[in-house]
Structure 1
């Protein structure tokens, strides 16, 4: 399936990854509709910051992913649906698990039921590497057991399993896309990389972060969106789960020191802030993607990989977060719904 000739819907289009994906699809020539969470202010999240040449080619639907009828109406006429809308903050899921069930599980069920009724040609379900918990072995392959260590992860497992069940039971053409720790411009300031950058940019000499020992596979947003498009275009991926990561593992403490070095502040002190720590049994100790299936099925490989790839991705991210318009507070806020 060629995106350039397709009608496409992106749920969660106003969020971090969603806005980047929407922009990529419009530039590729797709006819794109973006579903954004309704706000009385009229904000479209990060879509408000896109160039007019992109926004003018974009159809916007304001709706709530928890409302089946609104979701079905938004999906009508679409060949491909990228389902990114979700509540994603892990800390908030400890206090508001019900909201995560309603949005992440019930919202995904709405999308799946609409896809079945409308005979949508392709549905890409956005997953997360958090579904694995602390892995039994790394790098992690798609057959690794699922283990939720947070309510957020549990709801994403539930959403993914619903998507898989619809493929098995009804033949719904679903692809489960499982990215690892995407970062880049427009990411929520609550995420670890923006939090470090913004503290350093303010002149802080003590950087407050959560646990420094866990490792992650940080994947630049351009690689993630390219992988999502490849997943939608490849028939062989239907009914399957595919990993997208940089293939490079780095500890949070090492990451913080690298960012500090790139920002000209190598001597900063790292402070583990209690408020940023997960409950001990909830911390995921390692995440590191095995990309072999993505390369084999989709022909996708990350462009930002290894130490050099991370450095280049961080460079672009630092530039964006420290740009004058960001310092003046004129950039759009992150969407309530992912991505």
Structure 2
């Protein structure tokens, strides 16, 4: 598949952080986009509600529940490509509610795979996470690195990935497993570290509450992540493969926090709060991803430096209408 132009593309989880950016970029590719959002009685379409009206008019929005096979069947009917991003992703909440993660992440992915098999869908991309690797046993982490279920969240994503692999091997389903490392940028939820830091700073809080400061992360700007998905969707050689999206650079949470403090409010202090620290055997201490496979398959390379990406993210959060969506004084699990 050399081009996605005029292809009908479904994005599950389109109401979320990465999904909403992906919808916008797919429109730029000339796709006919169907967006699957989580049904709710508020009639909210998540971050798609922030789109300009002229953009939103180009999107066919359907609502449902990824755990419900009927919802998924309706959403997938007539589409050429499925980019499956719908998931529960908060790690701390997975300690409290693991069953909901099994339902959403594993059963939801199974529903997508089963419908793709039934419908003969041309391409399916299943979203993984760098958390499936756990703490790095070697760096950079390539796609051959062992899996470690260091949280119920990561365990369910490992399960979903292996289901996707099984459908490629058992039924020749044209699946690619896409594995983003730590994506950040505008619209990211407060359960992630960068919005946690920025929202506290922009609200004038002087003691910035965080968990462990020593872990390192490979931070990918959201527009680069979305572009990685699109390039993999075009790449026939990626069928049956699992592919990292990573910058192959790392920064510690402590250094990241200090960078943002220096930019926004140098007088603020960083405080480690026990409530925010993961259990010791569950904390992923180091994530540094290899991106050679993605580069060799598609020519992708990160276009946004960490400095540029953080500046754009801070600017977005600094707008009152965006900042008001975040409850900086509450620990969002």
TM-score over 0.5 (shorter chain): yes
Contact kept? 2:190, 2:326, Cα under 8 Å: no
List per-residue Cα deviations over 1:209-268 (Å, max 9, x = no partner).
Answer: 0100000001100000000000100000000011111221000000000111122x2343
Tell me which residue corresponds to 1:337: none
Contact 2:295 2:301 in 1 (8 A): yes
Structure 1 runs of 4+ aligned residues shifted over 3 Å read: 330-333
* Partner SS state of residue 190, structure 2: coil
1:122, 1:173 within 8 Å by CA — same for their partners in 2? yes
Residue 13 of structure 1 corresponds to: 14
Match of 1:323 among 305, 319, 323: 319
TM-score scaled by length of structure 2 = 0.96
Q: Which has the higher contact order (CA 8 A, sep 6+)?
A: 1
Q: How many residues align?
A: 326
Match of residue 186 from structure 2: 185
Question: How many Å separate the matches in 2 of 1:299 and 1:116?
Answer: 29
Q: Distance in 2 between matches of 1:326 and 1:10?
A: 24
Which stretches in structure 1 are left out of the alignment for 5+ residues? 334-339
Encode CA deviations 1:274-329: one digit per residue, 9 max, x unaligned: 1111011000000011100000011111112xxxx1111000000111112224xx
Mapped to 2, the partners of 1:58 and 1:104 lie a distance apart of: 25
Output the aligned Cα RMSD.
1.2
> What is aligned with 2:34?
33
1:45 and 1:332 in contact (8 A); partners too = no
**1:204 offset after TM fit, Å?**
2.1
For 2:10 and 2:320, the matched residues in 1 are separated by 33
Q: Distance in 2 between matches of 1:198 and 1:190?
A: 11
Task: For residue 53 of structure 1, report the CA deviation from its aligned partner.
Answer: 1.5
The match for 1:2 is 3
Given that 2:209 and 2:271 are in contact with CA atoms closer than 8 Å, whether structure 1 keeps it comes out as yes
Shift of 1:80: 0.3
Q: Does 1:274 align with 2:274?
A: yes
Alignment deviations for residues 129-181 of structure 1 (CA, whole Å, 9 cap, x no partner): 00001111011000001111000000000000000000000000000000001
Quote the Cα distance in structure 2 between the aligned partners of 1:272 and 1:78: 47
Residue 164 of structure 1: aligned partner = 165
Q: Which residue of 2 aligns with 1:336?
A: none
Structure-1-length-normalised TM-score: 0.94
Partner in structure 2 of residue 143 of structure 1 = 144
Residue of structure 1 equivalent to 2:302: 302
Task: Work out the CA distance in 1 between the residues paired with 2:183 and 2:57.
Answer: 27
In structure 2, C-alpha distance between the alignment counterparts of 1:187 and 1:322, rounded to whole Å: 14
1:331 CA drift (Å): 5.3
Separation of aligned partners in 1, 2:267 and 2:42: 43
Q: Which residue of 1 aligns with 2:53?
A: 52
Tell me, yes or no, if the aligned pair for 2:199 and 2:326 is still in contact at 8 Å. no
Contact 1:35/1:74 (CA < 8 Å) preserved in 2? Answer: yes
Return the alpha-carbon distance in structure 2 between the equivalents of residues 147 and 239 of structure 1. Answer: 21
Which consecutive residues of structure 2, in runs of 5 or more, have no partner in the other structure?
328-333
1:163-242 equivalence runs, <5 A: 163-242=164-243
